[in-house]
Amino acid sequence: MPVDKELRIEIVLMMAKLEYSTFVRRNFQRDNLPYIPSENTIRSIFNKFVETGPIDDRERSGRPPTTTAEKVEEIAEVLANAPVNSVRNVSREVDVSKSVVHRVMRGVLGFKPYKMHLTQQVYDEDKDLRVEMAELLLPILNDPNNDGLIVFFR
């Protein structure tokens, strides 16, 4: 769990006063905090403060994200115009990779994949026929002598 800014400030101040991470942790335990960082975390926060000065996290290295607010809006607009659309079609229209479009659709916009399933409509007349068929098949299925024989009706 990441340590929030207020707790980092408290850790630095207490480490300056108490000098040992064990004492700082025990002090937090006496205060009944919901989250108490480990001694290693306390020590690393203080050492980073001594070395660099600020208590904030360092900037993350790596490739910058390709998903911008404009691209998210563009994807949302394409989906609003044609809600039945594939990830590939949207990625072609927006000129972003399929994985980025899929991530935005699932994570940011809350879209979920859905495949249309066609079913037959059951009419009132069919209900009587279904009951009759069930009454015919039930004794066959419950018969202990039936060795998995399949019976066809006309």
Pair (45, 78) in one structural domain: no
Q: What is the pLDDT of residues 38-57, one digit of tens each?
A: 899 889 888 888 888 877 76
Which residues form the domain of 11? 5-52
Task: Look at residue 149 and tell me if it is in a domain.
Answer: no
In 3D space, the residue among 38, 57, 39, 50 whose CA is nearest the CA of residue 12 turns out to be: 50
In the predicted model, is pLDDT for residue 133 greater than 70? yes
For residues 41 and 79, state if they share a domain: no
Strand runs labelled E in the chain: none
- Higher-pLDDT residue of 116, 133: 133
The secondary structure of residue 95, as a DSSP letter, is: T
- Residue in the structure block whose two tokens are 């360092």: 58
Average pLDDT, the chain: 83
Q: Could you tell me if 15 and 42 are in contact, meaning their C-beta atoms sit under 8 angstroms apart? A: yes
Asked if the structure places residue 17 within a domain, the reply is yes
- Determine, yes or no, domain membership for 14: yes
- Reference 153, options 143, 124, 139; nearest CA is 139
Asked if pLDDT for residue 29 goes beyond 70, the answer is yes
Question: Has this prediction a pTM greater than 0.75?
Answer: no
* Whether residues 46 and 76 fall in one domain: no
Answer yes or no: are the C-beta atoms of 49 and 9 closer than 8 Å: no
In 3D, which of 78, 80, 124 has the Cα closest to residue 101? Answer: 78
> What string of DSSP letters covers 55-74?
-SPPPPPSPPPS--HHHHHH
Over residues 9-24, the mean pLDDT reads 87
Nearest one of 54, 51, 46 to 22, comparing CA atoms? 46
Residue 102 domain-assigned (yes or no): yes
Asked if residue 82 belongs to a domain, the reply is yes
In a domain, 96, yes or no: yes
pLDDT digits (tens, 9 = 90+) for 95-119: 989 999 999 988 888 888 777 788 8
Let me know: does 109 contact 72? Beta carbons within 8 Å. Answer: yes
Give yes or no: residues 74 and 102 share one domain: yes
Residue 19 within a domain: yes
Distance of CA 128 to the CA centre of its chain: 46
Place of tokens 């009419």: 123
46 and 73 share a domain?
Answer: no
- Average pLDDT rounded to a whole number, residues 54-79: 82
Total count of domains within the chain? 2
